Amino acid sequence: MKQEQFDTETLKLIKNRLDYIIYISKRYNSDNPELMDTIESLASVANMFARIKLEELTGKPETTSPQGYIVSRLGNSYSRMKEYEKQKDEEFPGWKL
């Protein structure tokens, strides 16, 4: 039998901290919208993983379509990071001899 690597109390703590991160990133979104949106999206993805694992452990699956949600939210962060990378590449031209 496989030993479980998570326990419900720790998962609840993880979800609570992720909820806090999401709340703060939404509250202060106007300070740095791109960064806060990225943080919020990544925390939401992690929160969904924690929720699904908690549902597995308690034997009470309630969430429908977590994969679609995760792919959608991850897409936002991925797009922002790709755009950031493009901006950085333009700021520092390659070395020429």
- Whole-prediction pTM value? 0.82
Residue pLDDT, tens place only, 29-67: 999 999 999 999 999 999 999 999 999 999 998 998 999
Domain layout of the chain by residue ranges: 8-87
By the 8 A CB rule, do 18 and 47 touch?
yes
DSSP assignment of 36-76: HHHHHHHHHHHHHHHHHHHHHHHT------HHHHHHHHHHH
- How far does CA 4 lie from the centroid of its chain? 23
Residue type, 78: Y
Looking at residue 84, its pLDDT comes to: 86
User: Average pLDDT for residues 59-81, to the nearest whole number?
Assistant: 91
